Amino acid sequence: MKFTRTKIPDIILCEPTFIGDERGYFVETFRKDLLENFINEKIHFCQDNESKSSNGVLRGLHYQLPPFAQSKLVRVIEGEVLDVVVDVRKKSSTFGQHLTQILSSENKKQLFIPKGFAHGFIVLSTTAVFAYKVDNRYSAKHECGIAFNDPKLNIDWKLSLNAIRYSKKDGVNPSFEFAQYFED
């Protein structure tokens, strides 16, 4: 498995080794020891989540505040998404910056997203199955969001606003300016 720091250095691009032939393929999607050695901290994933969405569905931008903040390891099992991560750590040198990455069943790329980042994705293929590990349970009381179409963030979601489908809840998320930030 290959790990690469992105333009926001705490976000790690994980590229598993892919072994394929005429019979199919094998890929090791997670190695706790290798990721822990690369980021130099312990990871305690406690839950796996999976969602299936159709073309144009946008989920995000979501995060949880302490003590229920979550680190995530995200990947696509089927299809293709544009994955988006926004730094909401007030004291970070990359505060307010975002990163985009195409994740697909073809490229097998994954992102490790530590606590302190808002996360979302939009489905670019006909459908997509999105999977992620988290290191803390869901808490509605600690859940936060940021408007996906905030002009300050200026995220290119690769689809026109008319083609994007999102939940009522995601449609009323505050702008980045009025979001809750990580103060750590």
Q: Which residue matches tokens 């600690």?
A: 142
β-bridge partners, 14: 3, 110
Q: Which residue matches tokens 């994007």?
A: 164
**Residues designated catalytic:** 62, 132
Q: Token pair for residue 66?
A: 């302490």
Cα separations in angstroms, 26 against 29, 47, 112, 148, 174: 9, 23, 21, 35, 42
